[in-house]
Amino acid sequence: MTAIPAPALPGRPHPLGSRLHAGGVSFSVYSGAAERIELLLYDHVDDVRPSRVIGLDPHRHRTWRYWHAFVPGLRVGQLYAYRAHGPWDPARGHRFDADKVLLDPYGRAVAMPSGWQREAACRPGRNDAQACKSVVADDNAYAWNGDTPLRRPFTQTVIYEAHVRGLTRHPSSGVDEMRRGTYAGLVEKIPYLVDLGVTAVELMPVFQHDTQDAPPGLVNYWGYSPLSFFAPHAGYATTPDRPLAVLDEFRDMVRACHRAGLEVILDVVFNHTHEGGEGGPTCSWRGLDNDTYYLLDEGGHYANYSGCGNTLNGNHSVVRRMILDSLRYWVRVMHVDGFRFDLASIFSRDERGVPMADPPLLWDIESDPVLAGTKLIAEAWDAAGLYQVGSFIGERWKEWNGRFRDDVRAFVRGDAGRVRALADRILGSPDLYGARPREPAQSINFVTSHDGFTLEDLVSYNAKRNEANLEGNRDGSDDNLSWNCGGPEHEGPTGDAAVLALRTRQVKNLLAINVLSLGTPMLLMGDEMRRTQGGNNNAWCQDNETSWLDWTLLERHAEIHRFVRGLIRIRNLRESVRRDHRLTLAELMARVKVQLHGVRVGQPDTSAESRSLAVTAWSLSGDLLMHFAMNAYWEPLDFELPALPGRATTPWRRVLDSSRPSPHDLVDLAEADAVSGPTLRVEPRSVVVLFAQVALPVLVDVAEAAPAA
């Protein structure tokens, strides 16, 4: 005789999502406009019908706009979803479809059916067997063994932007085939990352995302198409068909990174979802409460400030709480160290899309006590033209500095009129961040990221090569500030020795300025071994060797790998990096007594024709004097050297010279050649770094120990 399951009890509206209790599981979901909600329970993810349908009575199972129930006897691992009944009235913002299986917006894990079909959620009719299901999980069912987020100061941080799958998916990765492209595969590369010298991995989206949100025959590889804001992507696990094991494998990765001293920063996408525009799938938010979750115009059409078909209504109270709850979950339960917010300027828009002076969501994130120790990084622009680099709100937010990328690229390429901008960029962008008290690490400095050319392609192509994306080469930026270091005949791979040598030098120049400038440096995965995408500057849909890191490049380009390791060592000599001094940018500039020069000491040339700049600065402790000379001109230049103070214990020593062959291009301070004479010859398109050691006077305050050079 089949046992009759116990009836569902009313339950409570809090907490949202599903929660395990001693006698069963509680469920709660928000829907303001639904007339009726059904909780669906499944035995297997591929089932064409639920094993049990629990109708939520509006009188017993609803409190205000929250639908809730307690179901006795359920356990961890239970598959579930929802159906929402309500009006189909797009002009008023309602798009209910009672045939569609809907994920729980707060679901901790996602079960992917073998026949998952994005298209089945777009067309009329039931889609049970093709739909994802949420999975009941226990937030406390993991042994962290004392692990906590590292909370390293930005002043001591070097970020490595990586893709979980792309890092180890290539057969050359040396990772066992079952672990390639997974969280476990990343763990095997932790020793490599530590040896390189980076302190944080910034992972491209690891929220469960829709890989089918791409042109036919291609894959959404980057992951900027979220299905869930709480569940880690199952496709990056060694056992993707075991949702609870996915949670553990992700946490194993975080714990292993922390043990090695690496922070884990997540690239999070709260500006849109995979449901897209009017013709997109109904998988969760759209089917539960479209008018609440998305920005709509007066006719019910989706606002598209994300460039991806829809825009999340982030400053609505319910959506704002969901985003905050997600961030808290990833910190409390998954132990991540910080977040990089994709298209963060969208969070400034109100429900009509108008930018606000004091956006509630951004202030909530900044002031939330659970997030107080986490890194917050904003991509301070959106796809509709709102650009807030240098003006993003708050005190804690750091910013991806797109101006740094563009100005450094242009200077190194040899463009005219870029010296003044370069000076600002290498000094922490005081023109952007000097008006308010901001740390020197405010600027996240990068010359390449996932979005655009790799470093190798930046010096190898004048134009993008995106034909493989099946959009007629129309996608991706046309303004890359790139140069192939030769003529039209040298576009891409070439055998010309002179062009190849210049490309190597330009790679070193870009890396040196990026790593040694004031701010927080970020490196793109594989740039340290000259990874190429064959000129594709928008490889979002290329889940293949175009995007995967080819580890054979490590041996082939050992010279660049060695150079990057050395750059990070040089950076760590600076007192401003080794200590969390908590100085603002203005305070730091006063303490280190920066001086700008041209080819003549104290006379920086910022004219349109100038392509050279030199900078002298002291370490905070006053025992190290540093001189940087940059020549983007196509002929050698002789730079006057500033005189050393009488307390100098060494002459100027050439620690870095990008024109020299390896291993003489970068050496330890103790092994560096002395530079004699009043001038320094800097070869064409080169960067030179000199250090000199200075004795500290006895009983003199460190703050007074660094006189002007």
As annotated, the active-site residues are 342, 379
Strand order in the sheet with 686-693: 595-597, 612-618, 624-631, 686-693, 653-657, 673-674
Contacts within 8 Å (CB) and 24+ apart, 599-604: 599/637, 599/638, 599/639, 599/640, 600/640, 601/640, 601/641, 601/642, 604/419, 604/423
Do 440 and 583 contact (CB within 8 A), yes or no? Answer: yes
Q: Are strands 612-618 and 637-640 parallel, antiparallel or unpaired?
A: unpaired
- Residue 246 tokens, joined: 């996915």
Do 101 and 50 contact (CB within 8 A), yes or no? Answer: no
Closest CA to 273 of 312, 243, 239: 312
Helix (H, G, I), strand (E, B) or coil at 575: helix
Residue 217's alpha-carbon distances to 123, 145, 164, 338, 543, in angstroms, are: 20, 44, 22, 34, 11
Residues 6+ apart with CB under 8 A from 51: 41, 42, 43
Closest CA to 527 of 515, 543, 540, 519: 515
Do 154 and 401 contact (CB within 8 A), yes or no? Answer: no
For 364, list phi and psi in degrees, rounded to 5: -60, -45
As a three-state string, the secondary structure of 460-484 is CCCCCCCHHHCCCCCCCCCCCCCCC
What is the per-residue DSSP string for 250-291?
Answer: HHHHHHHHHHTT-EEEEEE--S--TT-STTS--SSHHHHHHH
Residue 166's alpha-carbon distances to 109, 179, 199, 206, 546, in angstroms, are: 23, 12, 19, 12, 10
Number of C-beta neighbours around residue 301 at 10 A: 15
Q: How far, in Å, CA of 444 to CA of 426, rounded?
A: 12
Report the Cα 564 to chain-centroid distance in Å. 20
